[in-house]
Chain A
């Protein structure tokens, strides 16, 4: 759909060409075979998710005595949702709000830093520039599990453990976001435009906000998408840093619920874990769908270049 809109914006020759040859590069013939083959990958991607959706409709006993990929006789989705949201004084809602905070601050901040950094790498020549990305890749290559304890000790010394900062600050770094913005800025912002702005006497900051940022908008949405998912699903670091369940993100909370069954006297609430999981990924899927239009056009940045 967006492909069409991008195309229609394009001037004369393409339009003429399209009229002459209906199944051109721009409007190829749909292929059932290709759709079916790609459909296999689709099924592969969706079956486990279907399991999640189906099992969110089951009661705790129903989970254990019904076939996994089909519904149980009781349809308990609504009561599961109510129970999930109200269990333990509605702590799930608190976790949801925490997660939102971490995502807004973490993913928002990560995107902002990546945009600034990617822009610098793409459009400026500065001392040490060549080393920057190598250092980033090199550091990312060190296994994070072993860095957790040193990081914990540092953060503890700075008084950041058990606070939202301990989750937000590490989330601010997205090496992949930096790379994407680098590539994107290199392509999307014509050097001439920057030159022109500078000749007009605009400061670098003003040029960035007025000229470059709007051009990068589609790439920004894509990076935001990646960082949002990463922050939303962040598990390992909060596990080390956060001990107060009031500051748990959803992933830690769900894990605590899941672990609850195996403690002496603990109540098994697998049905709430599953329903909670479903509720956890739903906002992300909604965000994808809402952002779809933007990242769609963002990914089709070709129009900028032509």
Chain B
């Protein structure tokens, strides 16, 4: 349990530091307000995690039953090429897809916030809309679009007599997944950035305008620093999302079974271990390792994000 609350992480909350602290009295009153959240949280997150840690110390076999194995499962994970392959893949995904997605989201948020768009309300809601589409539905849509025979890719090939590479081939499937994730979450992140931009006091802009600052200068000098908190938290949530990549590859697996292995991402790996393989103990081990690793990366990102601010 103690590993779950690294003191270092708590040192600097990701939120922009609230400005006034005069109302803060150190008392238990605050707990009264946060307790309902924490109680449910303990039930649906902490308890299963504690149970998983416990499970990770055992091994259950179809023949032979359950035995205590100490840290053997962790040793096994460190020696398991599938685990490392999966981890490598999501890391690659992380360093490429997350910057693209957040970049587009930020640009769109800035564009909408600038007030220079025609019909910005429509833009905002329409770009957010993919977030509302359930995974099952997204399967059907992207399955159609990626289909190189009867799908949109196939139609383009036939119409223009070209041969686009198959988006579901082993070489391209990660990029295709990145595209779906980007599609789903650009609007979501855009809305977070937009919300943060809206709370920037307009007096700042007016002052800058009187000083004759350009649009670009206003963005770099006022807007971006002001929403740094939102950028950091969006990055952290995206890192978590990348490391937990599951829905999209799991769905596309039906269409591209040979390109997406059962250990394509760490989360698919734990799923396959746990559900097809009945290896709950090893699955729990991999999950805990991934959790620890994600926290470390998130923490590093947060430290960097905050240092720039200082």
Contact = CB atoms under 8 A, between A and B. Distances in A.
A93 interface: no
Interface string A20-31: 000011111111
Most buried by A among B16, B30, B151, B267: B30
Given A38-B123, A69-B152, A235 B135 contact: yes
B233 A179 contact: yes
A199 to B, nearest CB: 11
B114 interface: yes
A148 B115 contact: no
A3 B209 CA distance: 18
A4 to B, nearest CB: 10
A51 B23 CA distance: 53
A194 B117 contact: no
B231 interface: no
Interface stretch (B64-72, B77-85, B91-99, B238-246): B238-246
A251 B139 CA distance: 12
Given A117-B37, A125-B25, A277-B140, A138 B9 contact: yes
Interface string B34-57: 101110110111111101100100
B298 interface: yes
Contacts of A11: none
Given A124-B29, A138-B4, A42 B127 contact: yes
A135 interface: yes
A12 interface: no
Interface stretch (B169-177, B256-264, B289-297): B289-297
Contacts of B127: 41-42, 45
A306 interface: yes
Contacts of B23: 123, 191, 194-195
Contacts of A264: none
A270 B38 CA distance: 42
A130 to B, nearest CB: 4
Contacts of A296: 121
Given A35-B117, A182-B15, A146 B132 contact: no
Nearest to B202: A302
A251 B136 contact: yes
A52 B137 contact: yes
Contacts of A116: 33-34, 36-37
A270 B137 CA distance: 11
A172 B271 CA distance: 23
A100 interface: no
Given A25-B209, A41-B108, A280 B274 contact: no
Contacts of B236: 137
A29 B116 contact: yes
Contacts of B121: 1, 292, 296
B63 interface: no
Contacts of A233: 132-135
Contact of A306 (B44, B125, B203, B280): B203
B29 A67 contact: no
A143 interface: yes
Contact of B29 (A69, A130, A204): A204
A268 interface: no
Contacts of A258: 136, 140
Interface string A159-198: 0000000000110110010111011001100110011000
Contacts of B292: 141
Interface in B130-157: 130-138, 140-142, 144-145, 150-152, 155
Nearest to A117: B37
A191 B132 CA distance: 36
Contacts of B294: 141-142
A299 to B, nearest CB: 4
B178 interface: no
Nearest to A32: B118
Contacts of A79: none
A122 interface: yes
Nearest to A152: B48
B12 to A, nearest CB: 9
Given A25-B206, A51-B144, A143-B291, A131 B5 contact: yes
A305 interface: yes
Contact of B111 (A37, A131, A204, A301): A37
17 contacts: A27-B115, A28-B115, A41-B104, A48-B141, A52-B137, A68-B155, A125-B27, A142-B49, A142-B287, A143-B267, A145-B270, A172-B40, A183-B16, A270-B140, A273-B136, A274-B140, A277-B136
The 5 closest A-B pairs by CB, nearest first: A124-B30, A146-B287, A142-B291, A126-B30, A120-B33
Interface of A: 1, 3, 14, 17, 24-32, 34-35, 37-38, 41-42, 44-49, 51-52, 55, 67-69, 112-114, 116-117, 119-151, 153-154, 169-170, 172-173, 176, 178-180, 182-183, 186-187, 190-191, 194-195, 204, 208, 222, 226, 229, 232-233, 235-236, 250-251, 254-255, 258, 270, 273-274, 277, 280-281, 284-285, 288-289, 292, 296, 299-302, 305-306
Given A191-B22, A306-B203, 9 more contacts: A30-B117, A34-B111, A123-B30, A143-B244, A145-B274, A149-B280, A176-B237, A183-B229, A232-B132
